Structure 1
Amino acid sequence: MDELEQSYRILGLEPGASVEEVNQAYKDLVFVWHPDRIPKDNPRLQQKAEDKLKEINHARDKLRSARRQGKTQKSQPQSNSNKEREPSRSYYQRERQKSSQYSSHYSSEPQYQEKKPSSDLSGRDFKGANLQERDLSGRNLSDANLSDANLSDAFMHKVNLNGANLERANLFRANLLQASLKNANLRDANLVGADFSGADLSGADLRGAKVGSRDRILVKLTGAKLTGAILPDGTIHA
């Protein structure tokens, strides 16, 4: 098995997969293996996650490089069969098929980096911006205006959103592990599927925020701090 074929296999794809398929598989695997999702008191799994991410990054880089050089391996039909091959799709894509929609910016998709420098975007105006699937991990977005912004499926690990305006923002399936949202405005925001594990939501205003259907909460709040937060029903968390 050559290195190109091995790269496809690491991402769970067949040779000849499209750019969209490669990038989607990459994002899904990073979501699964991100070290922030692994308990800090389990060094063995932490190391495994780091090694896995390096392997995933290398595989994606190899396929992108091959495509630029025109060496992308194509699926070849069997010589004795007239049957068309089914378009290649990864397991992760099939699982998310019902709710995922591809966007047009895959070619500029940011990669996971172990030591990504923070960038100061405090006070910036991103009202109505399309930030779907963007990697904003570690960024300083304190007091930024993100009202009506599309942040669905965004990576926002340890992002600083203190005092930010996220009114009516779409945070569907956004990953906000250990993010800081002190006194943030989340009124009428869509939080369904979002992961706020370990996040600080002290004093945040969540009035009218969509957090599930009927009596079922569909937001992950494991270890989140909600002291003084105004909950969707208007009550204040003790």
Structure 2
Amino acid sequence: MKIDVQELLRQYAAGTRNFHRANLIGVDLRGVDLRAADLSGANLIGANLSTANLTDANLSRADLSRADLKRAHLNQTNLREANLNGADLSRANLARANLSAANLSRANLNEANLTGAQMPDGKFYQIPE
């Protein structure tokens, strides 16, 4: 489904949450609020989602390769089987996120909060004591 940023935000404001398989390559969604949005299977290659609020969103099987997710709010977000190859997740909040079977190759997780997140191997991240 091809959709531009203005239409996505208009529909979200009107209560729509289903953006399954949306084509959003390279879009600028800096700082937007997309809590609980269904972006499963979406194409977000190279998208700028820095500081966006994606709490409780469904990004399972989404392609977020090379996406900018710096300081994004991804707590309790479903990222199962997502492609995060080369994504910048520095300082992102991934607390209790589901990253099982996600591709984190070359992803930048510097200073990311992974407390309670389910990692690609299925194990839950715990802060070392």
- AA aligned to 1:199 is A
Determine the C-alpha separation between the residues in 1 that align with 2:19 and 2:75: 19
Give distance in 2, aligned partners of 1:109 and 1:170.
17
Percent of aligned pairs sharing the same letter: 45
Matched, 1:223 2:111: yes
Q: CA RMSD in A?
A: 2.0
Instruction: Indicate the SS of the match to 1:140.
Output: coil
Which amino acid in structure 1 is aligned with residue 121 of structure 2?
A: D
Gaps of 5+ in 1: 1-107, 111-118, 213-217
- Describe the superposition over 1:87-130 as per-residue Cα deviations: whole angstroms up to 9, x where unpaired: xxxxxxxxxxxxxxxxxxxxx899xxxxxxxx683762110000
1:109 and 1:151 mapped to 2: Cα distance?
12
How far does residue 142 in structure 1 lie from its aligned partner after superposition? 0.6
Match of 1:7 in 2: none
1:237 aligned onto 2:87: no
| Structure 1 residue 199 displacement after superposition | 0.4
Distance (whole Å) between structure 1 residues aligned to residue 26 and residue 77 of structure 2:
21
Question: Partners of 1:195 and 1:226 in 2: how far apart?
Answer: 14
**Aligned match of 2:102 in 195, 209, 213?**
209
Tell me the equivalent position of 1:164.
57
TM-score, normalised to structure 2, is 0.86
Question: What residue number does 1:34 align with?
Answer: none
CA distance in 2, matches of 1:154, 1:222: 19
The code of the aligned residue for 2:46 comes to D
Query: Is residue 42 of structure 2 the alignment partner of residue 154 of structure 1?
Result: no
Distance in 1 of aligned mates of 2:48 and 2:58: 18
Separation in 1, partners of 2:120, 2:21 = 22
| Mapped pair 1:135 → 2:22 | no
| Distance of 1:188 and 1:170 partners within structure 2 | 9
Greater share of residues in helix: 1
Deviation per CA, 1:32-53: give whole Å up to 9, x if none.
xxxxxxxxxxxxxxxxxxxxxx
> Which has more radius of gyration?
1
The residue identity in structure 2 corresponding to 1:228 is: G
Q: Indicate how the Cα distance of structure 1 residues 235 and 136 shifts in structure 2: closer, same or farther if over 3 A, else same.
A: same
**Amino acid in the other structure paired with 2:97:** A
Structure 1 segments of 4+ aligned residues over 4 angstroms from their partners: none
Q: TM-score when scaled to structure 1?
A: 0.47
Instruction: Note the C-alpha offset of 1:226.
Output: 0.2
Q: Which runs of 5 or more structure 2 residues have no equivalent in the other structure?
A: none
